[in-house]
Structure 1
């Protein structure tokens, strides 16, 4: 869906559509510990559609995940925990992960604080990895903590 904003006197630069009325990616997260039915967002969540057809979807989600930790040098070390976020069936070329806002952004302010660790950085990177259906190239979100 695209349109020329000049056709509407520059008044309509974006529209908002409920999640239940638009396609959203079928994302999953490796190391997810919890109910196997991972549903992101909710039916009445409004998605922003720009004039060029790009859709912004910020579903927000609280996950419990697992990550191996080497505590040999604790508390003088830093650990990196990588969670693979990828679509189960959808083509990855249809999805673009915006980089997270960093420690003081979305992940930092929403992360549950803990006296034993603190988040140092948050990055997205693209890499190849194996999934049950074969080799994939997708985005991984890495959270470094100490």
Structure 2
């Protein structure tokens, strides 16, 4: 549509040029003033048409620019929403990865505690069995010694729990 207005504008420019040349020709040949006035009126009419077409062209350009601005703003809005969603998804992925790492650490710790607990249970059974083989006064001496060892112990690797 804009191209069409451009073509019409060029066509009217050519018409004005031709009319001007015709007017010059009439003036040179001293044709009647009546024909000259008619030609001038025709040129004025063509100039008015050109102004009208130019105004239409400018209106179409303004309308097209308004549409372009509208589409651009909608595009920018969608791009911002997309970027926000991507950022949220990335944050959720990081959060999920951190949660998975924590769960894996907890699983490993639980497994270590289970193994440690089984070791302590086996140690308690062996201790109880060994002490049970002793006589009563020897059992009391062993129990007192173990209590003192646990009480005075500072190492984390020492026995933490013993059933008496």
Q: Tell me the TM-score normalised to structure 1 length.
A: 0.15
Mark the structure with the bigger radius of gyration: 2
Which structure: greater helix fraction? 2
Q: Tell me the TM-score normalised to structure 2 length.
A: 0.14
Instruction: Kindly indicate whether structure 1 or structure 2 has the higher relative contact order, using CA contacts under 8 Å at least 6 residues apart.
Output: 1
